A and B are shown apart, each in its own frame.
Chain A
Amino acid sequence: MEPPADSGPDREGGSSRRQFIRSLAAISAGLTVATPLGRAATVTEKSIPKSAPPNTGGVQGLAEINLKVNGNAERLVVDPRVTLLDALRDRLELTGTKKGCDRGACGACTVHLDGSRVLSCLTLAVMAQGKEITTIEGLAKGDELHPVQAAFIECDGFQCGYCTPGQIMSAVACISEGHAGSDLEIREFMSGNLCRCGAYPNIVNAIKIAAARMKGEVN
């Protein structure tokens, strides 16, 4: 059956599924927070008492944190156990960053902290404060795709697409680090991003093309 015309991913159907997954995630993380962990629970600037203690002492229970994500200041109240990955996906609804293994083995959760590629599944949200966090949602300039995004589409650098946001975030850093000089070098420095569909040859091509374009060598 066709879905109703108005049931886009952010409408009722999509968001209730997301709410459901979110509550499962909360249960699996052993959280005891009773409120749904959605946008609604995000604490706004106004509701924070001015006397809120700075985050330097011990934090037990919930912590008030400030994150800068894709240029936006975000204020959240989280359990210190919440990873940056879960904060991005479940609290800020930036679901482009994917949860693969959740153990630092697959690279699907790769984001940039101050321009450096890291695994958001092994980063506590509370420890990402004061850093510029960039996710896949923050790469494009409006409708203009980042050269690496464009090259992935052009080269068919994916099949199912699940690992793709992590691959692209890692590839952007791989190029800026200067590690895209040859197929061999790209493969070595992209080894932290697994693709179970096996799109590796096309991923390598995409990175080569994007690297050349970013250097201004080809159009």
Chain B
Amino acid sequence: MRPFVYESASSAQQAATRGGTDSAFIAGGTTIIDLMKLEVMKPSRLVDLNPLQMRGIELGEDGLRIGALEKMSAVAVHPEVVANYPVISEALLKSASAQIRNMASIGGNLLQRTRCGYFRDVTTPCNKREPGSGCPAIDGENRMHAILGTSSSCVATHPSDLAVALVALDASMRLQNGADERLIKLDDFYLLPGDTPDHENQLRPGELITEVRVPRLPWARRSTYLKIRDRESYEFALTSAAVALDIDGDKIRDIRIAVGGVGTKPWNLPRVREALAGKPLKQETFAAAAKLAVDGANPLRHNGFKVDLVQRTIIRALMNLGDLA
């Protein structure tokens, strides 16, 4: 690990003044310490956010508010989250391991790097790590990589399960930069790699995520996160689906849906949503709509199976939620 200056933040405003291209914020540390050991990230200043008051999990009139420093494990088992947004609880419990969930913050989870094995391996080129150096994944090992939102510069998958659930639920983040505050939709926050895969989101230097807001959606009580992986636990998604379903008799009144493991960002599916609203609750409807999820998919040599697998993941999640399984 390269030497760095360590300091504790005393306020969000003060933290903003310490932020910059050469600085990094640390909360749980589960991503950044790993990447610093690998010398993938080499900040010369590490600003510890843990003294800040960005906590609390509350359900109000407007919906759910989660402080950015809350731990994944705390949010996963919070009674209001479990009861009202099971998709969030399930996405968190299917993430990482119990130890990592105890350490990692919600803000940090949403900011974990979009990454692949080549990004972590400093002996290989990587456009995300060293812009312009090339992408060995495109013609190399790419079984785990994305099929949607890819570019000729980067095909790495966004790894957060939580982000998939939050994008499906149309969540926003409150960002603070010194005295300035802004609210941004999570779906807009993440950027496609394009020619600049080193820019993964719209966060500005010094800016902090202070909280996550999930709109009130009473029928999200019927929601789930289905994650398909190579091993049962402690593994990234091959494919995943976050779905909330509003049922009116034998019809779908409304739906929220996003998929993970397939996109360079959490992949929202507004067209699948439109295709299913008002339609009969049955497998044939689900299968027809799921086809829209892979429109424009660009599979690589080893990950072509994801085109089919993600459709099956969507169908099964809907079957489970509709009590048809």
Contacts and interface: CB of A to CB of B under 8 A. Distances in A.
Contact of A30 (B2, B7, B30): B2
A140 B100 CA distance: 25
B97 A192 contact: yes
B102 interface: yes
B10 A80 contact: no
A123 B7 contact: no
Interface residues of A, number: 39
Interface in B1-55: 1-8, 10, 26, 29-30, 33-34, 37-38, 45-46, 48, 50
Nearest to B93: A188
B287 interface: no
B6 A63 contact: yes
Interface in A109-133: 110, 116-119, 122-124, 126-127
B34 A59 contact: no
Given A110-B99, A191-B234, A104 B6 contact: no
Nearest to A29: B1
A123 B6 contact: no
A102 B37 contact: yes
B138 interface: no
B48 to A, nearest CB: 6
A107 interface: yes
Interface string A36-69: 0000000000000000000111111001000000
B237 to A, nearest CB: 15
B128 to A, nearest CB: 19
Given A58-B5, A80-B46, A122-B103, A191 B37 contact: no
Given A58-B7, A117-B102, A191 B97 contact: yes
Contact of B33 (A117, A122, A173, A193): A122
B285 to A, nearest CB: 33
A122 B6 contact: no
Contact of B234 (A29, A110, A116, A192): A192
B83 interface: no
B96 interface: yes
Q: For chain B, what secondary structure do more than half of its interface residues adopt (helix, strand, loop), or is it mixed? A: mixed
Nearest to A117: B99
B133 interface: no
B122 interface: no
A89 to B, nearest CB: 16
Contacts of B50: 127
A141 interface: no
Contact of B7 (A57, A81, A189): A57
A36 B101 CA distance: 35
B7 A188 contact: no
A174 B98 contact: yes
A11 interface: no
A135 interface: no
Nearest to A129: B8
Interface string B198-241: 00000000000000000000000000000000001110000000
Given A29-B1, A81-B4, A124-B6, A118 B34 contact: no
A212 to B, nearest CB: 20
Given A116-B102, A122-B103, A192-B98, A81 B3 contact: yes
A188 B98 CA distance: 9
A118 B2 CA distance: 24
11 contacts: A58-B7, A63-B6, A79-B3, A118-B103, A124-B29, A173-B98, A191-B97, A191-B98, A191-B232, A191-B233, A192-B100
Interface of B: 1-8, 10, 26, 29-30, 33-34, 37-38, 45-46, 48, 50, 73, 96-100, 102-103, 232-234
Given A102-B37, A119-B99, A190-B98, 15 more contacts: A56-B7, A58-B5, A58-B6, A58-B45, A59-B6, A81-B1, A107-B99, A122-B30, A124-B29, A187-B232, A188-B233, A189-B98, A191-B232, A191-B234, A192-B97
Interface of A: 29-30, 55-60, 63, 79-81, 83, 102-104, 107, 110, 116-119, 122-124, 126-127, 170, 173-174, 177, 179, 187-193
